[in-house]
Structure 1
Amino acid sequence: MGSPSALRKLNDRAALYALLESGPLSRHDLEEAISVSRPAAAELLRRLEESDLARRAGYRRGGPGPQAQLWTINERAAFAAGLDVDDSGIDAVIADLSGTPLAEGKVPVGPRQDPIAVAVALLAKTAERASIRPADVRQVAVGISGSVDPETGTLSHAEHISEWTGFDVAERLSSALGVPVTVENDVKLVLSDESIRGRAVGCKDVLLLWLGHGISIAAITEGRLQRGFHGSAGELTFVPVGPGGPFAGDLLATAGVLELARAHGLATDDPVDVLEQAERAEGPHAGLDGFVSGFAERIASVLVSPVAVVDPELVILGGEFGIAGGDRLADEVKRRLHDMLALRLRVVAGTGHANSVRQGALDDALARLRETVFDNTRDNWGISA
């Protein structure tokens, strides 16, 4: 058996997660939720109140007898931030410990600007909007459209955001802010968002193909997000399709999709527009039908090897093109993959949540923040009111 202090720590953690996920809870609710005695529940609630990690939340109304006192997580015990970095700039959100967003902000990054200084200034401004101090933000996560080398912290596949390359992004930003910072590929964070509140909830083996101005795959296998040894798992843009064939990016990114549309007599400068037309079309339409069929064939030719290796239960077509293609494109891809591999897997269009990269980064920051806060008391965590 563990020491009494270790047992108290485990009970406190369990209670905090129960209050976070199911609160407000009465003392009796907490006894049942984490299987502790009445005196133990009363004592741990006292400790959590003293450490300002839990607070009283009124009384349960209705029913005979005395009204039960309720407790909930102290959502203002600490704060986290999620950032989305791409070629348009930096998009930030700050949330409290419960995950409630408090403020957001977005700024461009000019070619001669220091992106770290811009990010620090944006977080300070966003904290001001949230009516907290910048120092109250205790964990930051960044989603970025490139691959992060786990050994050096530098970016690859990020030519479009060259101002962020050539240095350890997490280390530089962490030093500037004085708090822990993690950096993750944006498409992997989109898949994380899909697994929490989108099409992949409850799935343990999933592939997401991002289709847009660039292409990339993210994978969850056995419930874990895969990054690869060099942090570049899923970077497909310059992977040839077939011996001596074209690059995957040439087939599926903007220029290739427009070329395919025009080959089928569809005059457009916007792949999203033509994909949405195809999804809405009723009855046969030679140009749209041929375009969707050809695009699905290209997608399947890129996906066939990853699908054969991972054997996922679900494939998500994400990004602006995958979402615009909707059920029609997903069904066409599903048929082709089944013909190629005889696997009966689901293929669906992505959810298309707004700010999914930023939300995925915030989810990561909150998970890390809670692990740290829930392992410590107010005194040794150093939280200020």
Structure 2
Amino acid sequence: MGSPSALRKLNDRAALYALLESGPLTRLDLEQAISVSRPAAAELLRRLEESGLARRAGYRPGGPGPQAQLWSIAEGAAYAAGLDVNDTGIDAVIADLGGAPVGTGKSRLAPGDDPAAAVRDLLETVAADAGLTRADVRQVVVGISGSVDPATGRLSHAEHIPEWNGFDVRERLTQVLEVPVAVENDVKLVLSDESIRGRAVGCRDVLLLWIGQGVAIAIIADGRLLRGSHGSAGEMGVVPVSADGPFAGDLLATVGIAALAREHGLPDADPAGLVARAASPDADPPHDGFLSALADLVVDVLASPVALVDPDLVILAGDHGLAGGDELAARVRTRLHQRLVHRPRIVAGTGYDNSVRQGALDESLRRLREKVFADARHHRPADPIHRSTESTSRAADLLGTGSGKGHQ
């Protein structure tokens, strides 16, 4: 049997997750949710309120009184940040402990800029606009358009963002921000986002094919995101589709789709728009032929990974995968099922805005909660001014998120 101290920690942690996922709750609700006695529930609520992690949240309809008192997570007790780093710049969001965004911001890097300093400056600006300081942000996760080697922290497959190459990205950011930082591949974060609130909810074996400026694959196998020994699992852009054939990136990235358009006598200036027009119900014959040829190329790239992983679900994502929608997914499904014994469902991605940033924020919140909930007694309550529900509500309305638990 565990020590009383260890049991208190477990109960505190269970109570906080119950409040997070199902709150606001009365004391009786909490007793039933985590199977503790009435005195134990009362005592842990007292501890959590004292630590600054739980707060009183009014009364259940029916009148005030001890039985009707509601409790919820103290959303302003800690903050997390998620960032999307790509060749257009940096996109950041800060959210409270409950997941509600309190501010967003973007910046661009000029030649010669220090990327870590640019992240610091952007976070300081976003925090200040939300009435916070950068020190209030306790966890940062960065989604980046490249793969991070876990041994060296250096990027690979990231020639398009040269300012981020040649150094330990996680270590540099951790030093400059003075807060724990994790760095994750952007396409893997998109798949993570799909598994939380998109097409892959409830699926344990999923393969996502990203078709955009570049080409990459992300995989969830038996419920776990695959990263690989060098962080490069799924970097399909530089893999030939046959022994002497072209690279997958040459076929399906923007330049490849533009070349395919020219082969069909179609304009190549806007590949994503072209794919969308070709997938429309009233597409003319040249567009229809182009879409069928594109589906063939997608199957050429997908066949080996699907046969190897045996996913239940395949998601077509990225600018071009999303533009093809259900029509491209249906054509890929037909062709892939003709070629393989494995016959997964194939769908277009959800296409939420800012899915990389949201995936980074989801992971940042997960890490923050694990850390903060692990020992509630040692949590340092935030300055009360930072717990303003009014400012949180304004930010959520500004971002169009309502409760703050959807996409930005």
1:354 match: 353
Unaligned runs of 5+ in 1: none
Give the match's secondary structure for 2:75: coil
1:188-220 per-position Cα deviation (integer Å, ceiling 9, x unaligned): 000000000111000000000000110000000
Q: Equivalents in 2 of 1:65, 1:217: separation in Å?
A: 55
Give the match's secondary structure for 1:2: coil
Q: Equivalents in 1 of 2:382, 2:342: separation in Å?
A: 55
Q: Equivalents in 2 of 1:240, 1:66: separation in Å?
A: 67
Answer yes or no: is the 8 Å Cα contact 2:215–2:236 preserved in 1: yes
Instruction: Note closer, same or farther for the CA distance 1:65–1:295 as it changes in structure 2 (3 Å cut).
Output: same
Answer yes or no: is the 8 Å Cα contact 2:28–2:67 preserved in 1: no
Whichever residue aligns with residue 132 of structure 1, its letter is L
Instruction: Note closer, same or farther for the CA distance 1:66–1:125 as it changes in structure 2 (3 Å cut).
Output: closer
How far did residue 63 of structure 1 move?
A: 7.9
How far did residue 70 of structure 1 move?
A: 0.3
1:384 match: 382
Whichever residue aligns with residue 4 of structure 1, its letter is P
Q: Does 1:191 align with 2:162?
A: no
Where do 4+ consecutive residues of structure 1 move more than 4 Å? 63-67
Q: Equivalents in 2 of 1:76, 1:348: separation in Å?
A: 38
Give the match's secondary structure for 1:241: coil
1:262 match: 262
Give the match's secondary structure for 2:238: coil
Give the match's secondary structure for 1:160: coil
How far did residue 137 of structure 1 move?
A: 0.5
Q: Equivalents in 1 of 2:109, 2:190: separation in Å?
A: 22
How far did residue 267 of structure 1 move?
A: 2.1
1:203 match: 203
Give the match's secondary structure for 2:167: coil
Q: Equivalents in 2 of 1:80, 1:168: separation in Å?
A: 22
How far did residue 12 of structure 1 move?
A: 0.3
How far did residue 148 of structure 1 move?
A: 0.3
Structure 2 counterparts to residues 368-383 of structure 1, below 5 A: 368-378=367-377, 380-383=378-381
How far did residue 275 of structure 1 move?
A: 1.1
How far did residue 237 of structure 1 move?
A: 1.1
Whichever residue aligns with residue 11 of structure 1, its letter is N
Instruction: Note closer, same or farther for the CA distance 1:291–1:29 as it changes in structure 2 (3 Å cut).
Output: same
Give the match's secondary structure for 2:77: coil
Q: Equivalents in 1 of 2:238, 2:62: separation in Å?
A: 64
Given the two structures, how large is their TM-score scaled by the length of structure 1? Answer: 0.97
2:341 match: 342
How well do the aligned residues superpose, as a CA RMSD in angstroms? 1.4
Answer yes or no: is the 8 Å Cα contact 2:51–2:379 preserved in 1: no
Q: Which has the higher contact order (CA 8 A, sep 6+)?
A: 2
1:116-155 per-position Cα deviation (integer Å, ceiling 9, x unaligned): 1111011001100111111110000000000000011110
2:132 match: 132
Aligned residues: 383
Whichever residue aligns with residue 32 of structure 1, its letter is Q
How far did residue 64 of structure 1 move?
A: 11
Structure 2 counterparts to residues 266-305 of structure 1, below 5 A: 266-282=266-282, 285-305=284-304
1:77 match: 77
Q: Equivalents in 2 of 1:161, 1:34: separation in Å?
A: 48
How far did residue 381 of structure 1 move?
A: 3.4
Q: Does 1:60 align with 2:60?
A: yes
Q: Equivalents in 2 of 1:115, 1:383: separation in Å?
A: 31
Structure 1 range deviating more: 258-267 or 318-327: 258-267
How far did residue 262 of structure 1 move?
A: 1.9
Given the two structures, how large is their TM-score scaled by the length of structure 2? Answer: 0.92
**Identity of matched residues, %:** 67
Give the match's secondary structure for 1:300: helix
Q: Equivalents in 2 of 1:187, 1:146: separation in Å?
A: 9
Structure 1 range deviating more: 300-309 or 342-351: 342-351
Structure 2 counterparts to residues 1-385 of structure 1, below 5 A: 1-62=1-62, 68-282=68-282, 285-378=284-377, 380-385=378-383
Q: Equivalents in 1 of 2:63, 2:381: separation in Å?
A: 38
Answer yes or no: is the 8 Å Cα contact 1:61–1:67 preserved in 2: no
Give the match's secondary structure for 1:297: helix
